[in-house]
C-alpha cells in the first residue's frame, strides 16, 4: 500500500506596506537566517489587489531581462515544489480556480488558515476564499497575538497567511499607547479617509503644509523600528513551527515617505511603492 506523502507546512508572512530598504536598514538577524533577502517587486501598490495576487500563487517578482513572461511564470510556480515539499506543481495545477488556498485544501489536503491585521482584508472580502478559518485580528498591530493561534497537526500539513500590521501606518508597536501614534491629516485607509489635503496620493502644497520632510523621515524610522521589533516575534514563530515548515517573508507593497512629493501607497506609480523584501526557506 503506497504511503501518503506529508507535505511541508507553509507560512506566508506579509509585512503590510514594508518597503525593501526599510527592511534592509533594520538588519533583522533572525529573518535573515532564512537566506539572502532579495529585492523584488509587487504586482500591485495596494493591500487588497496585492493579496489577491498572492492568493493566486503569484509571489512578488524579480525583473529578469530577455525572458518571456510565460517562462518566468512557469519557473516561479515551479518554486512551490520546494515550498510544499512536493513534485510536479505547475501553474495548470491551480486552474481553473486560480486560488492557492483552495488548491492546497482540496487537492493536497492542507488545513488552510488566515489571520489578517488590516480591516480592508476582512472576512467578507474576496480574499477569503479557500480558507478553513479566516480571522481579522482584534488589533491591527500585534503579530505576537497570532502565535498562540498557530496549530500544526501531524499527518496533515497547514497553510497560514499572516498579514502583519506593525509596518503599516502609523507604524505602531502593540505596547505604544494610541495617543502617542503619529496623526497625519489626509491619510486614508484604516485610520483616516481621504480629504482635500491629498489628491491621488501626491502632496498638494498649500500655505499650510500638511506635513514636512522631517516628519516623514520620522515615520520611516518608525517603520524600520517596527521591522526590528518583528524580528523578535518571528524568532518566537520559528521556535513554535515544526521543522517541516517552509516560511516566506515578504510585503504586499512598499511605502512613500516624501520621495518626489508622495506619501503612502495606493494610486501612486513609483518604484518605492513597488519594491519589497523577499526571503524564504524551510526551517532547519
- The residues near 258 (Cβ < 8 Å, ≥ 6 apart) are 203, 213, 216, 217
**pLDDT tens digits, 83-114:** 999 877 777 777 778 899 999 999 999 999 99
**pLDDT tens digits, 208-254:** 455 688 889 999 999 999 999 999 999 999 999 999 999 999 999 99
- Report which of residues 284 and 132 the model is more confident about: 132
Is the confidence at residue 6, as pLDDT, over 60?
yes
Mean pLDDT (the chain) is 88
Residue 189: what pLDDT?
A: 41
In a domain, 272, yes or no: yes
273 closest CA partner among 170, 189, 259, 12: 259
Residue 212: what pLDDT?
A: 80
- Contact status, residue 274 vs residue 254, Cβ threshold 8 Å: yes
Over pLDDT 70: what percentage of the chain? 88
Q: How many domains does the chain have?
A: 1
In a domain, 2, yes or no: no
Residue 171: what pLDDT?
A: 95
Spacing of C-alpha 266 from chain mean position: 15
Residue 203: what pLDDT?
A: 42
In a domain, 4, yes or no: no
Max Cα distance, the chain (Å): 78
- The residues near 8 (Cβ < 8 Å, ≥ 6 apart) are 83, 84, 85, 157, 244, 245, 246, 282
In a domain, 258, yes or no: yes
Residue 140: what pLDDT?
A: 95
DSSP letter for each residue of 104-127: HHHHH--EEEEEE-SGGG-TTSTT
Which residues are bridge partners to 158 per DSSP? 111
In a domain, 250, yes or no: yes
- Mean pLDDT, range 136-162, rounded to an integer: 96
3 state DSSP class of 254: coil
274 closest CA partner among 261, 283, 265: 265
How many residues in the chain?
284
In a domain, 3, yes or no: no
Domain with 68 in it = 9-282
252 closest CA partner among 270, 225, 273: 273
Residue 162: what pLDDT?
A: 98
How does residue 5 score in pLDDT terms, banded at 50, 70 and 90? low
In a domain, 249, yes or no: yes
Q: Using CA atoms, how far apart are residues 194 and 201, in angstroms rounded to an integer?
A: 9
- Contact status, residue 62 vs residue 40, Cβ threshold 8 Å: yes
Residue 92: give its domain's CATH number.
3.40.720.10
- Contact status, residue 42 vs residue 271, Cβ threshold 8 Å: no
**pLDDT tens digits, 31-77:** 999 999 999 999 999 999 999 999 999 999 998 888 888 888 888 88
Residue 211: what pLDDT?
A: 61
What Cα–Cα distance (Å) separates residue 241 from each residue in 147, 157, 228, 245?
10, 12, 20, 6
- Report which of residues 98 and 9 the model is more confident about: 9
How does residue 194 score in pLDDT terms, banded at 50, 70 and 90? very low
Residue 268: what pLDDT?
A: 87
Cis amide linkage into residue 248, ω under 30° from 0 = no
Amino acid at each position: 500500500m503506497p504511503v501518503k506523502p506529508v507535505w511541508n507546512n507553509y507560512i506566508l508572512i506579509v509585512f503590510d506596506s514594508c518597503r525593501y530598504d526599510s527592511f534592509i536598514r533594520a538588519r533583522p538577524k533572525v529573518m535573515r537566517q532564512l537566506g539572502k533577502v532579495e529585492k523584488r517587486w509587487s504586482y500591485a501598490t495596494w493591500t487588497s489587489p496585492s493579496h489577491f495576487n498572492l492568493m493566486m500563487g503569484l509571489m512578488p517578482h524579480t525583473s529578469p531581462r530577455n525572458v518571456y513572461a510565460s517562462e518566468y511564470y512557469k519557473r516561479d510556480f515551479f518554486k512551490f515544489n520546494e515550498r510544499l515539499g512536493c513534485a510536479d506543481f505547475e501553474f495548470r495545477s491551480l486552474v481553473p480556480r486560480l486560488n492557492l488556498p483552495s488548491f492546497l485544501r482540496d487537492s493536497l489536503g492542507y488545513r488552510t488558515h488566515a489571520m489578517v491585521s488590516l480591516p480592508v482584508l476582512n472576512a467578507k472580502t474576496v480574499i477569503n476564499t479557500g480558507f478553513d478559518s479566516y480571522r481579522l485580528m482584534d488589533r491591527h498591530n500585534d503579530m505576537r497575538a497570532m502565535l498562540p493561534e498557530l496549530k500544526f497537526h501531524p499527518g496533515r500539513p497547514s497553510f497560514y497567511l499572516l498579514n502583519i500590521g506593525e509596518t503599516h501606518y502609523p507604524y505602531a508597536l502593540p505596547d505604544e499607547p494610541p495617543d502617542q501614534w503619529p496623526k497625519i491629516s489626509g491619510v486614508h485607509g484604516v485610520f483616516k479617509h481621504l480629504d482635500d489635503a491629498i489628491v491621488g496620493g501626491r502632496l498638494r502644497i498649500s500655505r499650510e503644509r500638511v506635513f514636512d520632510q522631517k516628519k516623514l523621515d520620522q515615520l520611516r524610522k518608525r517603520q524600520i523600528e517596527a521591522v526590528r521589533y518583528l524580528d523578535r516575534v518571528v524568532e518566537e514563530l520559528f521556535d513554535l513551527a515544526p521543522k517541516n515548515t517552509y516560511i516566506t517573508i515578504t510585503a504586499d507593497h512598499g511605502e512613500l515617505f516624501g520621495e518626489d512629493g508622495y506619501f503612502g501607497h495606493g494610486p501612486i506609480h513609483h518604484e518605492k511603492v513597488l519594491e519589497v523584501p523577499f526571503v524564504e526557506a524551510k526551517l532547519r
